[in-house]
Chain A
């Protein structure tokens, strides 16, 4: 059944399909598994962090710190693996607990001090970026056989596409994110928070716990994205992933999530990521366009989706049905 709330999601999916078909008609070689596989691999870290961002935005908040957290995670891993004999898996666990704690702390500040998420996570953004600089200002290469092993894991699809581990991690993240958002009480509480914190409180939603969990989730997923990014680049660099938080927000909004909170879909974010990746791929295929066209197209898309959201909100309130239609026999 199609409901008005699903419309943004449908529009996103349709946009992707139409865009993909257009790209395919112009460059038939874009319709290969190789392109699809690269789309997943190249955007894996962005996709993972966008899942966390979806939760944050649905709850009515924002997390500006994720780009810095990704960079911090990369530098942290590179430095730890260079200077200690810690196994990468242990380093992963360590950095994930750090980023989860970092997110949880931001969530706690947002809730208990009643501060806007924007300013708290902005502080978190500077803090994480600064910590990355403290660890190293240079790009630190990661050379570890376990990394080589992880990077060598892929499934070669017919047509030559290599589906790598990182892409699979992203898909799993989206899957778990979807289940969490729509099928758990935590997910329901996130939507409730986005609908109105005061009302949610009156309805018995544990605000503190939910807020802290949301930002912990976003921080943790930023950590995971950092791990994936370090696998992707085999290095940790404190200047990496500047502005990724904004890309993630863009993907979430293109995916049909309302910036004001309360409505949105993790699945929509997935297609938001794919649309953004597709534009980039198209520009690579074209070869003559400046890569800045990516930004221009994304900017235009964002505007279009914001207008669409506004229109839908307006339409749902306008067609509010009269009461008498609902009297039960």
Chain B
């Protein structure tokens, strides 16, 4: 398409090391004028790190960046902005308390006699935003407009300041369809103006809709760059997830699921997860598969009442129950190990012992403290059965390794003897040994008759322990795989399937 023309931005051999990890390993990225280039990859693949290296937020450890043939080394976002590389983030980085015009011109206001000239600022703003298809009042505070409008203003600011390369980091994550369309029309206008645009998103449909090329990162390496006109969604997903994707048949205990435990009918929340039906039986592990942003975590949170559902009903053993908040869920003997262990799971400064008994104590009520002896007995029992390695039960949990923290969190919920346990990314960020132990633990719990719902981006892992896999896409259930159907290949196929059929 644009072969032969000189690239606007070319990065070669970018590497970035963090203590104990290689975040980027010899990454190359080339951007041409007038192209939209999608940057894809699962969480932790190195997309943000790459962007931060390009914009100077991080110092790269190796590699060169050429902007229009000139070698550049920005050391701050401000410097890269001045060079011509502008960035717009998912959460709008503008000031909601300032007016639209003030946001657009902050730091470079037109002045007259040393004083800011408001009239000029506002006419200029109106003129600029008109090019972006917006007719809004520049004198209104930014907060009175929707996120999409704010997003466009942010883009306008970035382009006005920089004007060569525009990096859009998940700009559509919180927009609805109509708003995405407005954003895309703006992107197309900028493309026509000759900007090189980097588009980061988790929505593959959007990638194919707007982008010319895509570079896929995995574990800090570029695994491929494709002209999207000649690639299919399946190709891209294979690149993104493609561990050993040959579908190996797992030795799986026959799905001898027991009585239905939890029945969700038309359960959902507007803007978060489309309504779905789901029945979970005793002694069953239901896997939730899907790309990032497909609604895995949202589904888990919805069932646990972290985000209350606004439609549908939940039945526990045939009786209608309310799941409006986590307290009620805990009362029904549910448990949730959240995805973000550090901020939503552990209480870092409390001891391991306190962290383990937290949920049990919460359910019992704060005015009936557990006996000290009972606490010790419980904590010690779980440390032993789960093989949590620690120096002492009194040490603050934040000093434990990721895998041990995760096991302590599991212990927290197991101590409450739950009927239904939701695990969101139970193996993220933990070492291989602990990984296998947690998978074995999930198996054991299932055999004991517990119902589990596990959301994970590790497909092999899901295949290994699930008796059923629900495939999510764009916050909607798109497929359900059972028994022998469960394989990584089939999950990928279901994610890539263009059809939007709902689960019956």
Contact = CB atoms under 8 A, between A and B. Distances in A.
Nearest to B151: A323
A320 B115 CA distance: 31
Majority secondary structure, B binding face: mixed
A259 to B, nearest CB: 13
B116 A4 contact: no
A328 B116 contact: no
Nearest to A203: B106
Interface in B103-126: 103, 106-107, 109, 111, 114-116, 118
A137 interface: no
B146 A323 contact: yes
A4 B94 contact: no
A195 B115 contact: no
Interface string A303-329: 000000000000011011111101111
Interface stretch (A10-18, A123-131, A159-167, A178-186): A178-186
Contact of B146 (A195, A200, A202, A320): A320
Contact of A188 (B102, B135, B136, B146): B102
B116 A202 contact: no
Given A179-B115, A202-B77, A327 B95 contact: no
A189 B107 CA distance: 8
A322 B111 CA distance: 33
Central interface residue in B96, B109, B129, by most chain A CB within 10 Å: B96
B135 A192 contact: no
B95 A195 contact: yes
B141 A327 contact: no
Contacts of B139: 1, 3
A323 B148 contact: yes
What does DSSP make chain A's interface, helix, strand, loop or mixed?
Answer: helix
B389 interface: no
A316 B144 CA distance: 6
Contacts, number: 97
B136 A4 contact: no
B130 interface: yes
Contact of A184 (B97, B107, B115, B140): B115
B97 A185 contact: no
Interface residue tally of chain B, by bracket? 35 or more
Given A204-B107, A205-B107, A262-B97, A320 B134 contact: no
A76 interface: no
A8 interface: no
A194 interface: yes
A139 to B, nearest CB: 43
B398 interface: no
A321 B93 contact: no
A188 B107 CA distance: 8
Contacts of A319: 144
Given A322-B146, A324-B178, A199 B94 contact: yes
B98 interface: yes
Contacts of B145: 320-321, 326
B63 interface: no
Nearest to A58: B97
Contacts of A179: 115
A189 B102 CA distance: 10
B331 interface: no
Contacts of B146: 320-323
B97 A204 contact: no
A192 B109 CA distance: 13
Interface in A1-56: 1, 3-5
A292 to B, nearest CB: 36
Contacts of B130: 328
B81 interface: yes
B149 interface: yes
Contacts of B111: 185
Contacts of B81: 204
B155 to A, nearest CB: 14
Nearest to B135: A328
A325 to B, nearest CB: 9
B78 interface: yes
Nearest to A260: B97
B376 to A, nearest CB: 39
B178 A183 contact: no
Contacts of A317: 143
Interface string B83-107: 0000000000111111000110011
Given A3-B141, A203-B94, A327-B134, 14 more contacts: A179-B115, A183-B115, A185-B107, A188-B106, A188-B116, A192-B98, A195-B97, A203-B107, A203-B157, A205-B106, A320-B144, A323-B182, A328-B133, A328-B135
Interface of A: 1, 3-5, 179, 182-185, 187-189, 191-192, 194-196, 199-200, 202-205, 262-263, 316-317, 319-324, 326-329
10 contacts: A185-B107, A188-B106, A191-B102, A204-B78, A262-B96, A320-B146, A322-B146, A323-B178, A327-B182, A328-B135
